[in-house]
Structure 1
Amino acid sequence: MTAPAQAALRRTMEKESRTTRFCLICNYISRIIEPLTSRCSKFRFKPLANQIQEERLLEICEKENLKYTKESIAELVRVSEGDLRKAITFLQSAARLNIDKEITERAVLEIAGVVPLKMIDHLLQICFTGTFEKLEVAVRNMVDEGYAATQILSQLHESIIEQDLSDKQKSAITEKMAVVSKCLSDGADEYLQMLSLCSVIMQHASQNN
């Protein structure tokens, strides 16, 4: 919700407080304006364990008579990152996409908008050994394919941690990732932000060559 919409909600909450109780669910409490947070009791929930998510998803599949593979359930757990609500939403979308068919790992990946690992690896390879011109093309292609910049950022973070870089280099890159994440949440241009991040990765990766 935008700040003006939240301000309007504040007035509604004040007016209807005697007869109505409001429950606000969010991922980033910092995005909720202070007049609203001050009127609410805050409950913070940790990500659910993988086993708990898997058991719940299997229960849903059984009751809804859904066909699935073991790999698809494991992938649902992985891409939801402890958010059962997200996992159930992905499962529902995959079921609608594959009516009367088996829900596969590939279908889950498409629904979740996960970037194929080969594309992430290709992007990092250009950052490590390519030119800026090739980097521009690779980033543009990923954005044009419809992959969310936040998803690319998340997967890049996982890959960078596994790279053969010094702690100082990883620290500088992840610090830039934090800045890019904040800019994206504020509505910045996805292409420019990803290009900026990849340029920093290229800069630090060149120090190893």
Structure 2
Amino acid sequence: MSLSGGRKVIIIDEADYLNPNSTQPALRNAIEEFASNCSFIFTCNYKNRIIEPLHSRCAVIDFSLKGTEKAQMAKDFFGRIKQILQSESVSFDDKVVAELVKKHFPDFRRVINELQRYSQFGKVDAGVLAQIANVSISEIVKHMKEKDFGAIRKWVASGDFDANVVFRQIYDALYDVLKPQSIPQAVLIIADYQYKQAFVADGEINLVACLVELMGNCEFA
């Protein structure tokens, strides 16, 4: 009970990163034990990473953006980024900033961090477009097909990749790059490492491990 006699509220931020085999199951009893005087709020980006017993004990509220609301927020997002750049006396190209916002929206923190990196020399211009282009998997597919582990490791280490984006792009390209009999196995491998990505200590190692397993267990077209 709170000091004022009312209900307490416990907020668990980024609950999707809690271990689903230990921490999340342990919360089930806590929720039930203190349900009479305490409310629990779990925030997450990936609700599929929350175990079903916690889902069943909570009301799910999805804050995803849809339709015109998304377009308006992206516009406001872009305007705010421009204000920040102007206040910091950083020269910039509107088209480049728009491309960066388009790639990372609605992750405001990611956009700010990327701009800090790109603007270290005082400007954000067309020279950074090559750096913010979408991940192209053609090169890594070539390395896997050639079973070149050194090149795979170098590709991952030298890039600023979101592992989940790489997993998705490889998945989308399976029918183009693998022989049909290898596709089911590849799906299982990708799903396994995508799941592990949320909990591993080093995401780069996990991504390399996924690519190595695909290289060793799949036949490329």
The interval holding the TM-score normalised by the smaller chain is 0.5 to 0.7
Which structure's residues are more often helix, by fraction? 1
115 and 41 in structure 1: CA distance in 2 versus 1, 3 angstrom threshold:
same
**CA positional deviation for 1:154:** 3.0
Query: CA offset at residue 40 of structure 1?
Result: 0.8
Please name the residue that 2:153 is paired with: 140
Shift of 1:90: 1.4
Structure with higher strand content: 2
Alignment of 1:54 with 2:74, yes or no, is yes
Greater C-alpha radius of gyration = 2
CA distance in 1, matches of 2:140, 2:76: 36
Contact 1:149 1:194 in 2 (8 A): no
User: CA separation in 2, counterparts of 1:91 and 1:15?
Assistant: 41
The answer on 1:195 being equivalent to 2:216 is no
SS at match of 1:64: helix
1:61-107 superposed Cα distances (whole Å, 9 cap, x missing partner): 244354543123223323x3xx51x2x11122134433693345776
Match of 2:114 among 62, 72, 94: 94
* TM-score, with structure 1 as normaliser: 0.63
Specify the SS of the correspondent of 2:149: helix
Question: Which of 101, 125, 150 is the aligned partner of 2:164?
Answer: 150
Q: Over the residues paired in the alignment, what is the CA RMSD in angstroms?
A: 4.0
In structure 1, the residue corresponding to 2:166 is in which secondary structure?
A: helix
Show structure 1 runs of 5+ residues with no match: none
The alignment-based identity, stated in percent, is 16
| Other-structure match for 1:204 | 220
Check the 8 A contact 1:13/1:22 in 2, yes or no. Answer: yes
- Hey, what's the Cα distance between the residues in 2 that align with 1:179 and 1:14? 35
What's the counterpart of residue 40 of structure 1?
58
- 2:46 maps to 1:28: yes
The residue type paired with residue 153 of structure 1 is F
Q: TM-score, normalised by structure 2?
A: 0.60
